[in-house]
Structure 1
Amino acid sequence: MSTPPPSTVRGGAPLTAEELLEALDPDQREVASTLTGPLCVLAGAGTGKTRAITYRIAHGVLIGRYDPRRVLAVTFTARAAGEMRSRLRDLGVGAVQARTFHAAALRQLSYFWPQAIGGSVPRIAEHKAPLIGEAAGRLGLSVDRIAIRDLAAEVEWAKVSMITPDDYVRAAAAAGRTETAGHDLTTVSRLLSVYEEAKSERGVIDFEDVLLLTVGILAEREDVAAQVRTQYRHFVIDEYQDVSPLQQRLLDLWLGDRDEICVVGDVSQTIYSFTGASPRYLTDFRRRYPEAGVVRLVRDYRSTPQVVRLANDVLARAGRHRNAAAVELVAGRPSGRPVAFEVYDDDEAEARGVATRIAALQREGVSASEIAVLYRTNAQSQTIEQALASAGIGYLVRGGERFFSRSEIRDAMVLLRGAARAQMDGTMPEHVRAVLSGAGWQPEAPAARGATRERWESLNALVQLADELARTRGADMQGFVEELLERAAAQHAPTVDGVTLASLHAAKGLEWDAVFLVGVSEGLLPISLADGEDAIAEERRLLYVGVTRAREHLHLSFARSRTSGGRGNRRRSRFLEGIWPEETSRGRRSAAISKTEATRAALAAQDVDPDLLERLRGWRTQVAKQIDKPGFTILHDSTLVAIAAAQPRELRQLAILRGIGPTKIEAYGAQILAVVRGDEPSHD
């Protein structure tokens, strides 16, 4: 688990600046102590970068170097901004602004628009799809839902790259972009122009326009720029490897000719190049600011040495493509379980195997909210969802309906706001429980799955948040409601108890006790669409991001075939060459032993006898040779695991296991029971 921040009070008194710095490691302390001039922090995954920069801000405020109202901390997601605000508040510097680029720009645009343009800011179109569809229709283009999605992404790329429709063909060709949704560059250029016309006719702007319009006002109105620069004197930019040209232009206008800026990033986590993000602003920071200090955060407090070793190995095999600014992590936690590697016969077997392991972790006491299944494409989630549902395991698909948009949460917030105005006896958590009981919450989780369980988990997340705020801040009902309203505005949802399913892109910035990386095979990772060395390098970084999300348990797997009985022609990802156990230089026998050792701990947690499982696999191999068919056509790996766990003694006990039908019973039932008993099976 990541190192938690220490208490900011000592016997009821705030920490001194010296005590604040003593709570950091030497590298973090250097960041927190460097309060002036440009500073570049190269921070590896799990190295406490958020802690370092929030303590830096708090330190500057404590010693009087910073006015908290003059500091702007910028990050890339509403969730991250909400977390940063929470940490700053806990450190006693709640007046510091922590926002995304868009939130900060929208705030400035709304304030200055009346004097710079006149009237009010146009309405922001929540989705581009209707406008893209309208523009395509005007041009006579045939587009479906997927084509509209791809064209919308291309519109966003052009705008954050500050490329006009007139210059699109040249700029896109120079960037190596050939076509979008089957349309050539000239057609896309025309669509960009018509899209802008459609927006103007409707009197709306899009999210990229928020930045573009703010940039335009600041560039053209020196009086407005002067007001912004007076308001903000110190800047901290998180996830700087993901800055786009448009965001960098806005940052330049905020700064003017000053250099009071601290940037934090990790080139090894650059995974959004396709959206226009560029790590060059991070890697070239010293060229722009020759006097800038550079601090490397390398000690990983998040992951076990086993996970850290794998993460380093994935990057080390990048060869000449590895960036010199990349950080090599140093494990800061005690040793943990080996990383598990598994090959399954098909996608369904992989999903069932993952569900079985998740159930075992839950029996060990790992909370569902601390488990994640990560994949390269969203299409991979369906099979995983089915397997978890069949196993009775609750899950949440990241990127689904937003927490604060759910009807039960909207209704609960109305009730809680009313309760905050009433006089009630008891503690704040007691009040919250009483109010939410009227909305359908109950102390025990319902046995039912599906929508009923999802509603309960949403409401229970509010209960858990109330407990946390009462414990850490002593919040009352009014404080709890204010926290909820702030979180709703920032879409900073509390933790909901369910296994997280997410794409590798959506997992960026998150962490869990246990992570399952599925589909780590060629064609998925790297994705078959990745073209060129740069695209392949970014796919490798995606794997690195996935690996470094895990604190203690990490499981990598892939399936040889997409469907049961299909051709097993998939092979593991090239990024795992020399890492996957079967490929170690010590030879196949040593690799097999290593694989057995790596899986024994997980099997033991499932009450699976690993020796019995090996005997079953040996029996299957013999049968496969006799009938000259692949082993998976006899019994899947997941079925062998189920047999080794159940240890059936009779055919009726064997028949109830998944993957064992009447045909299998007739053909192999007696042999399987003999293997379970420890006898030599008859192959007659």
Structure 2
Amino acid sequence: QNYRSTSTILDAANALIAHNGSRMGKNLWTAGHAGEKIVVFSAFNELEEARFVSDRILSEINRGRSTDDMAILYRSNAQSRVLEDALLRAGIAYRIHGGVRFFERAEVKDALAYLRLLSNPHDDTAFDRVVNFPTRGIGDKTLDDLRAQAKADQISYWQAATQLIQVGRLPQRASTALAAFIALIESLQLKQTGLDLDEQIREIIQASGLHAHFEKLKGDKSESKLENLQELVNAAKQFRYEQTDDDELPLMVAFLSHASLEAGEMQADEHERAVHMMTLHAAKGLEFPFVFMVGMEEGLFPGKRSMEEPGRLDEERRLCYVGMTRAMEQLVMSYAEVRRQYGKEEYHRPSRFLSELPVALLDEVRAKARFQPPAAKTQPSFVVQESGFRLGQQVHHATFGQGVVLGVEGNGAHTRVQVKFSDHGSKWLVLAYAHLTA
């Protein structure tokens, strides 16, 4: 007996799992009420799917439901990126279980560090992160010498590396490896010309060795990291499409600012109420009044590998069954007809798991036949942190000119300031990239 879910949800889940040939005949049942039908939403693409989820969450909040009552479940970690973006734009706090936000994932930060180094070779944090990752034979002793040289001469790590190579102070092997890294970054800088932002990131992932490095890992770990790197390419392409000709910042700098902001915003603290986000595997043993299951598409859930390996399809179906029975009161399942993968838009068929559910238990909803651009991001509230700037202070920006500080949000690398410029209006800028002077 299941004391959580409505009979509608349990009947649908039982019908699904009955398609597993090896399963013994035991069904969950409940003495509770039938409840609402399962909503199945067909979106044009993954962006529309994410907006549908965020809009529905806002609708539920307006009806009095707590954000803490709602969960978004997905098959792959890489799917969280567009969902996080939609929640941020709607000003909805969220918490990722069993993982970290998209732009905080190690492999994503690795690729972004290369991008930051292309944008600014004197970014010491970025240099330090990738100079020997993937491993290229630059040892700790060489890096210690490099840091010491930079500190002594008060120069950047990039400048120190160039000096050490030129004066021949390093062992031949270390000097060759460091010179190869410098040459790699310089060659990537040259290749930027004529390439779109997403193509630049794809080139970085390949030429830096990141793709080859993560490809060597085994199983699901390798697949997950490669999917996240590919989703970063998708994120750059989406960002490029959303920019307008009157955006003054260079596209690469604007994207790095965007990534920094999204890494630091709206992830709820432990004590805060927030929408729960997690993979289906991480959801085992949990329960929520309202559950969204997204990405219900062939090739995604069930995944491509599950269709090729014996027994894997039954495992995927069991996982779908687990996801459905996490819902206590309401269940919404959605899929996108078109999804961007590997930088290209691909048409997807709805998951076979949806066709295995009784039609009488479903309420099928299709998206309107029009595509709307993403809404402007809602400004969340933050506690003002110490940033070195005060409200009302006059500042200067190299591009936007003179302005007045109106607000400060976040802290550390994610601090941003709102400045009202004389000729360009009010703008939010990431402090680390703004280079404001008093």
What TM-score do you get using the length of structure 1 for normalisation? 0.29
> Counting helix residues as a fraction of each chain, which structure ranks higher?
1
- Give the structure with higher Rg (CA): 1
Relative contact order (alpha carbons < 8 A, sep ≥ 6): 1 or 2 greater? Answer: 2
Q: Going by fraction, where is strand more abundant, 1 or 2?
A: 2
